Structure 1
Amino acid sequence: MQKRRVGTSDLQVSEISFGTMSIGTDEQQGIRLLHEAQDLGINYFDTADLYDQGKNEEIVGKAFKGRRDKVILASKVGNRLDPGGESWHWDASKEYIVSQIKESLRRLQTDYLDLYQLHGGTMDDNINETIDAFETLKKEGLIRYYGISSIRPNVIREYVKRSNIVSVMMQYSLLDRRPEEKVLDYLTDNNISVFARGSVAKGMLSDKASEKVKQKGADGYLTHTYEELLAASEKLSVLAEQEQTSVTSLTVRYVLQHPALASAVMGASSLEQVKQNAKLPTERLPDAMYEKLQQFTRQITYTSHR
């Protein structure tokens, strides 16, 4: 598995990585999936305190106890559990962030995180205080680096200007090309890497594209209509057959093409999915192929948080 450097850090992450939210709450099954992914060359695993109210972090921690030095662990913070445990509210305060790293480290059975990410962020936050929280944790050795998980251009710009983030996680795919509107180039210019989530758009850009469009795209996707989704899936299927490759490979390679990208964060809930993800080709697309893929979908832009 090829690796890429994350921003100005010394983290080298696999081009295909594992978003652990989809592993479920069966501990033995989750550990099997995580071990299989690591054995196949995936070294970056992304979780969050929000996932299954901390259970996800616990499974990840048990899976990599004894393997900690072989993996890069990332988690997220900012969504605070309400009394009763049925809902969350946003809390980007220094007090909360500093308190929650201890809980995440306990669940993950480690004494540090390679990457700690703000799980959202708004312009109403006290951004300087939030940055100070992450800088404090870094000085204390509890985290190596920090980043944000956000699709809000205005928030991203503020953290780029004010902080030492090394990464931004954002949704990016052929059906969500909003980051191509200056955001990716801006991050490249500032030596900040992108972790892409949603690369196959709920499966609508996968080998089961037509089936998934019918299941999940009836009401459209972002500003794409159902008819546009169907047309894109058909064109992708034809092209993949012509190129003797898979639709998933084409769409993930498309995402990885931009120099800002560090990794495509993929979910998996079965061993078969883990194996398919780990075996995805990641080599650069020919320019002509990249441009052809762009013609299959239309460019959409951010309408808010600009």
Structure 2
Amino acid sequence: MDKRQLGRSELFVSKMGLGCMSLGKEESRAKSLIDEAIELGINYFDTADLYDFGLNEEFIGRAIQNRRQELILATKAGNRWEEGKDGWTWDPSKSHIHKAVKDSLRRLGTDYIDLYQLHGGTIEDPIDETIEAFEELKKDGLIREYGISSIRPNVIKEYLEKSSIVSIMMQYSLADRRPEEWFPLVEEHGVRVIARGPLAKGILSERGLDQAGDRIKEKGYMNYSFEELAELRDSIKNAAPGHSYTEAALQYCLASPAVAAVIPGASKIAQLQQNAEAVNAEPLNEGEIALLQQISKAGQYEQHRV
């Protein structure tokens, strides 16, 4: 599988990573998904300390312990929680990030994290202090690079201007094209986007709308009604007739030079294989991309702009 550079860093990630949130709580099943991902050429695994309150990191750490050097391991911090207690609070302080990284390193069974990400963020955060924490971790060799996971334009602009982030994780798909407004600024700063949710909860996959959840059937997705989602799928098939839904969705995201990788989740090996096949398929041509942009809504973030 082709690899792409994260910003101007030395990190080269497979153009599809594995979003590990959907690995589940059964370790043997999680390990089989990780093993298959590696077999498919995926070198980029994305988790967070909050996923199953650390259990996800533990599963990944044990699954990759003999192959650590070959992989790009990403995790996140900022959500503070305590063992045995439900819920969490937001804490982007330096003291918490320094503690969180040590806890993640222990659970992952490694002495460094390739990409450490702030798991959210608001404009009210002590952003300078947060950046300082990440820079210190980088200087100490505990992390190689850092990034943020955010869809808030005002937060993104602050980090682009003040920090040395190499990546921004954003929800991005044909059904949620809001990030595109900010791609030129992201590229200008030499940063790259990691696209989460590229299949829009399965709406843009082969699974079909009949298997969508009740909430989507009642309220639609983003600024699409359920009926509009059906129309979108029909239009996608007409705009890119030589591609499956999954191929069209993933190849659309990957067509942007701002995007380094897509990270669809997968809870079954068949899903993982289908997604990998889709990212290795023939890229969309310029005409197909233009048509897909015509038949989908561009959209803009309405909040957190200043």
Q: Same fold (TM over 0.5)?
A: yes
Residue 260 (1) aligns with residue 276 (2)? no
Distance 1:82 1:230, change over 3 A: same
Aligned alpha-carbon RMSD (Å): 1.4
The range that moved more, 82-91 or 194-203, is 82-91
Q: Which SS does the other structure have where 2:17 is aligned? A: strand
Q: CA deviation at 1:160?
A: 0.6
Tell me what 2:287 maps to: 288
Tell me what 2:296 maps to: 297
Structure 2 counterpart of 1:231, one-letter code: E
Given that residues 239 and 288 in structure 2 are in contact (C-alpha distance below 8 angstroms), is that contact kept between their aligned partners in structure 1? no
Q: Which SS does the other structure have where 2:9 is aligned? A: coil
Q: CA deviation at 1:208?
A: 2.0
**2:294 and 2:217 mapped to 1: Cα distance?**
20
Distance 1:265 1:165, change over 3 A: same
Residue 247 (1) aligns with residue 245 (2)? yes
Tell me what 1:232 maps to: 232
Q: Number of residue pairs matched?
A: 303
Tell me what 1:198 maps to: 197
Give me the TM-score of the superposition, normalised by structure 1.
Answer: 0.96
**2:213 and 2:32 mapped to 1: Cα distance?**
31
Give me the TM-score of the superposition, normalised by structure 2.
Answer: 0.96
Q: Where does structure 1 lack aligned partners over 5 or more consecutive residues?
A: none
Tell me what 1:58 maps to: 58
Tell me what 2:96 maps to: 96
**1:283 and 1:246 mapped to 2: Cα distance?**
11
Distance 1:24 1:153, change over 3 A: same
Tell me what 2:79 maps to: 79
The range that moved more, 211-220 or 15-24, is 211-220
Q: Percent identity?
A: 50
Q: 1:277 aligns with which of 272, 275, 278?
A: 275
Given that residues 5 and 12 in structure 2 are in contact (C-alpha distance below 8 angstroms), is that contact kept between their aligned partners in structure 1? yes
Given that residues 49 and 104 in structure 1 are in contact (C-alpha distance below 8 angstroms), is that contact kept between their aligned partners in structure 2? yes
Residue 118 (1) aligns with residue 118 (2)? yes
Given that residues 252 and 282 in structure 1 are in contact (C-alpha distance below 8 angstroms), is that contact kept between their aligned partners in structure 2? no
**1:170 and 1:95 mapped to 2: Cα distance?**
26
Tell me what 1:4 maps to: 4
Q: Where does structure 2 lack aligned partners over 5 or more consecutive residues?
A: none
Q: CA deviation at 1:234?
A: 2.1
Q: Which SS does the other structure have where 1:185 is aligned? A: helix
Distance 1:83 1:58, change over 3 A: closer
**1:214 and 1:154 mapped to 2: Cα distance?**
32
Structure 1 counterpart of 2:5, one-letter code: R
The range that moved more, 90-99 or 230-239, is 230-239
**1:209 and 1:191 mapped to 2: Cα distance?**
37
